[in-house]
Chains A and B, each alone.
Chain A
Amino acid sequence: MALVKLTINNQPHTIDVDPEMPLLWAIRDVVGLTGTKFGCGIAQCGACTVHLDGAPIRSCSYPASAAAGHKITTIEGLSKNADHPVQKAWIEHQVPQCGYCQSGQIMSAVALLKQNPKPSEEDIDTAMQGNICRCGTYERIRKAIHSASTEMASAPKMPKSTPKIGKR
């Protein structure tokens, strides 16, 4: 056992666990955030996808101790009011059926759009191939990613500083 310091959704947590314990179980059983799901335990299904410094990882196959010092984001930390553009697109297209895979799907989609704001069908297929949906919501996932991409591109970006208004 060892003390592991994790930062999950900007909250610090110090937990006393077997350093080999996968991040998934640290998040679910020890920290108590259950939005991240267990599907296979061998990095085959993507249900456990979370972000480590913004990049998607399979938390079932990632030791909790290795995540120390990094910024971990789970589905619960994506937005306060279900208003991340990807979540909104998921609602608009009514993507989930049973919903069990969807935390992982959304985390993968958010990471994709961050890295590639205008993904093609092929880009989506490549980036989302690691996430199984047994209910078969794939077509809606594709559509929702395209919608989110459009929405994110058109959303007004907050200017870094107040622009000067003057004559040309």
Chain B
Amino acid sequence: MSTTPTSTATETGTSRRNFLKAAGLTGAAFALGFSSADSFASPVLNLSGQPGMGLPESVELNPYILIDKSGRITLMNPRPEIGQGTYQSIPALIAEELEVSLDKVTIRQTGGETKYGGMWSQAVGGSGSVRGGYMQMRKVGASAREMLRQAASQQWAVPIEECMAENATIVHKPSGKKLTYGQLAEVAAKLPVPKEPALKDPKQFSMLGKPMPRPDVPLKVTGQATFGIDAKVPGMVYASIERCPVLGSKLVSFDASKSLKVKGVQKAVKIERVVGKNRYEGVAIIADNYWAALQGRKALSVTWDHNQFDTFNSASFENKLRDLAKTDGVQGHNTGDFEKSFADAPNKVEAFYETPMVSHSTMEPMNALAHYKPDGKVELWVSSQGGDLVRGDVAKVLNVKPDDITVHILFNGGGFGRRITQDFATEAATLSKTIGKPVKVIWTREDDTQLGPFRPMTFSAMRGALSADGKAVALQHKVISPSIDATMNETYDKTKADDTMLEGTGDQKYEIPNLNTRYVHADIHVPLTYWRSVTSSTLAFSHECFIDEMAQKAGQDPLAFRMSMLTKDSDSKRVLTKLKEVSGWDNPLPAGKGRGIAQWEFFAGLSAQVVEVSKNKTGGITVDKVYCVIDLGTVVNPDTVKAQIEGSIAMALTAATKDGITFENGQAVQKNFDANRMLRINEMPTVEVHILAEGGPTIKGVGEPGLPPFAPALANAVFAATGKRIRKLPFDLEKV
């Protein structure tokens, strides 16, 4: 891995300083604006590990666009690449308006610098990168393009209308004269930033809306892409940390004498892991190479005080949740009068649904390389979902000023929400401070699987009522679960309904006159966090399976029943209408096959799926095919969208039918991929994706919406094929 030399951008007056403001980037996400002081104070990391890619003499047209005299263009991507395609989609938004082709630019990742905005301006989560940046990043490109046109028109003393931008060049149309962006950059950078630069008509787009190749793909098929785990700096050492798998245990003492005899082991030091409000003690083995660190760790003897946490197990916690289901909890959403209409209704349905805790299991285990330097400055190289998040957490835990922290965000070998928590980064930084050397901490797969934070399980008590003519008149969704917020923050308020844990339950477009959602909180000491599509990943299962149960009670086809509750125009209605058509819903399936449907709308977006399954001759079920319709409004890269749906379905199928995380004697039973099994190639169904994107101002998320409808559509398909209701996840496809 190489870092690149620093270029100090020349100060060009207030025009650029006000850039973010002028470009309308002063919303909440961009509140801090741009400080010239730290402009390129940090070297920019080269994600492809190629040497000699510095930025000498670059002119900064705005914080996202750098152009050097030879015409080389660098675009800064604020959104870490975790597999979701932001390394292409975000620069493409800038490049489209700037009129440069993406294969002619260098893409660099920002590292949480304040000039790009406040917290979450450089993080990925909530399927928010493209939909959040769609207008902002285009304005970034458009305003730079306008400055370059202006510069050319001044140079040639011709009207700006005659100066057109194309292919990184301004062309004077009447005379055919040309100046490259490289020739114009210095002058352009001194011009005022246009307040409302004209944006291209989407009809003129050359990249946006079309399936475009991703520039990271060639790097990833040659082993050249640099992930956090690949980072190297001179003099660095490796660390593996022994932490108690019984979460909550305290370190009493340790004896590292045997560890220190392992060749290559340098030291053993106490270290604290910080996860939100939680602190976990551990012992780090520092060594010349990672293998030696692992051997040293094996030789370590540690005494833990489990403090009764070793009595915790999933079976009794689940019983506790079932007991708690009898309590009322706190009200979330309410329309009409559920209790009255339920009591009065002629037909009632009740059901209880259960889902498991699961791990994120990114393919790249958690890791970070940190160097706490003698002058108190900290530099980190890390796979993380946000450079700003790393800065914020390292600043807090080590009590360092954010501006003294330089972060290099590398390619993430998966995120799925796990890399929103920066415990691995603060561990590395703390260790480096303790030992005075750059140190790379790498978690083992066992650490990664057992230590969390995990996706919470949710249990759901569902009640529904139908009128005599089979119309849904009342629905109650009561969620009983531990809470992400409660396990992370001291300030959790148990008297309020937890919106995250009720996610989406009050937001479906079904016209049910009496709708009530409730939340019953269950305390847990295990750290919990966001997992791709957050609580929708479990609540869609209970909600949409229950809608099927109501349809059955009403004696109606599951899709027709849903459509009967969608009389008004809505995106959900359009999505289901399209899905009906593309999935051939009305064509009968041969005996032994079944199909199920589900849809889900939540903060990240909306999709609906039909899953087709068949009964195996030897018993069990095979998932044959999945049809997905995703509603986007506007699409940036349809091929990336397709990939995200395929990935979401693989992940949802794993969570629905594999192992999940269960606890016995205070620790996760599953340690590695042998017991915490992941979907493999032979189990992957065919996926057919349809994107609804008719253009216009609406733009919805991509990374998560493909996940929630899958499990309920699958369970509903299993019912259609076998008559068996699946109300508890995970379930074994072989044993249905």
A and B assemble together: yes
Give residues in A with beta carbon < 8 Å to B. 1, 17-18, 21-22, 25, 28-30, 32-42, 44-45, 47, 74-76, 78-79, 82, 87, 90-91, 94-103, 106, 124-126, 128-129, 131-142
With A131-B681, A139-B687 known as contacts, the answer to whether A35 contacts B445 (CB < 8 A) is no
- Taken together as a complex, chains A and B put the C-alpha atoms of A98 and B651 apart, in Å, by 14
With A39-B445, A94-B217, A99-B411 known as contacts, the answer to whether A132 contacts B290 (CB < 8 A) is no
With A99-B83, A99-B220 known as contacts, the answer to whether A37 contacts B364 (CB < 8 A) is yes
Residues facing A in B299-345 (CB within 8 A) are: none
- Taken together as a complex, chains A and B put the C-alpha atoms of A27 and B246 apart, in Å, by 34
Contact partner, B647, options A32, A41, A90, A135, Cβ 8 Å: A135
User: What are the residues of chain A within 8 A of B429 when measuring CB–CB?
Assistant: none
User: What are the residues of chain B within 8 A of A132 when measuring CB–CB?
Assistant: 363, 673, 678-680
Contact in complex: A100, B445 (CB < 8 Å):
no
- Taken together as a complex, chains A and B put the C-alpha atoms of A157 and B679 apart, in Å, by 38
Contact partner, B82, options A22, A30, A37, A98, Cβ 8 Å: A98
User: What are the residues of chain B within 8 A of A128 when measuring CB–CB?
Assistant: 681
- Taken together as a complex, chains A and B put the C-alpha atoms of A99 and B411 apart, in Å, by 9
User: What are the residues of chain B within 8 A of A41 when measuring CB–CB?
Assistant: 444-445, 672
B163 within 8 A of A: no
User: What are the residues of chain A within 8 A of B415 when measuring CB–CB?
Assistant: 98
Contact in complex: B221, A100 (CB < 8 Å):
no
User: What are the residues of chain A within 8 A of B643 when measuring CB–CB?
Assistant: 94, 97, 137, 140
User: What are the residues of chain A within 8 A of B82 when measuring CB–CB?
Assistant: 98
User: What are the residues of chain B within 8 A of A90 when measuring CB–CB?
Assistant: 217, 221
Main secondary structure of the interface of A (DSSP, over half): loop
Contact in complex: A97, B647 (CB < 8 Å):
yes
- Taken together as a complex, chains A and B put the C-alpha atoms of A63 and B415 apart, in Å, by 31
Contact partner, A135, options B223, B227, B363, Cβ 8 Å: B363
> How far in angstroms is the closest Cβ of chain B from A117?
19
CB-CB nearest in chain A for B680: A129
Contact in complex: B83, A139 (CB < 8 Å):
no
**Mask for B451-492, Cβ within 8 A of A = 1, else 0?**
000000000000000000000000000000000000000000
B639 within 8 A of A: yes
> How far in angstroms is the closest Cβ of chain A from B642?
9
With A34-B230, A98-B362 known as contacts, the answer to whether A138 contacts B220 (CB < 8 A) is no
- Taken together as a complex, chains A and B put the C-alpha atoms of A47 and B678 apart, in Å, by 14
Contact in complex: A99, B413 (CB < 8 Å):
yes
> How far in angstroms is the closest Cβ of chain B from A27?
11
> How far in angstroms is the closest Cβ of chain A from B433?
23
B191 within 8 A of A: no
Contact in complex: A37, B674 (CB < 8 Å):
no
Contact in complex: B289, A136 (CB < 8 Å):
no
With A34-B223, A76-B222 known as contacts, the answer to whether A91 contacts B217 (CB < 8 A) is yes
> How far in angstroms is the closest Cβ of chain A from B486?
28
Contact in complex: B289, A91 (CB < 8 Å):
no
With A37-B413, A125-B681, A129-B681 known as contacts, the answer to whether A29 contacts B238 (CB < 8 A) is yes
Contact in complex: A1, B444 (CB < 8 Å):
no
Other contacts beyond A40-B673, A98-B364: 12, CB < 8 A:
A18-B292, A22-B291, A47-B363, A91-B218, A96-B220, A98-B411, A99-B220, A100-B362, A129-B680, A132-B363, A132-B678, A136-B679
Residues facing A in B217-271 (CB within 8 A) are: 217-227, 229-230, 232, 238, 263-264
User: What are the residues of chain A within 8 A of B687 when measuring CB–CB?
Assistant: 139
B412 within 8 A of A: yes
- Taken together as a complex, chains A and B put the C-alpha atoms of A47 and B218 apart, in Å, by 18
CB-CB nearest in chain B for A108: B681
User: What are the residues of chain B within 8 A of A82 when measuring CB–CB?
Assistant: 218, 221-222
Contact in complex: B682, A91 (CB < 8 Å):
no
> How far in angstroms is the closest Cβ of chain B from A69?
21
Contact in complex: A38, B229 (CB < 8 Å):
yes
Contact in complex: A142, B222 (CB < 8 Å):
no
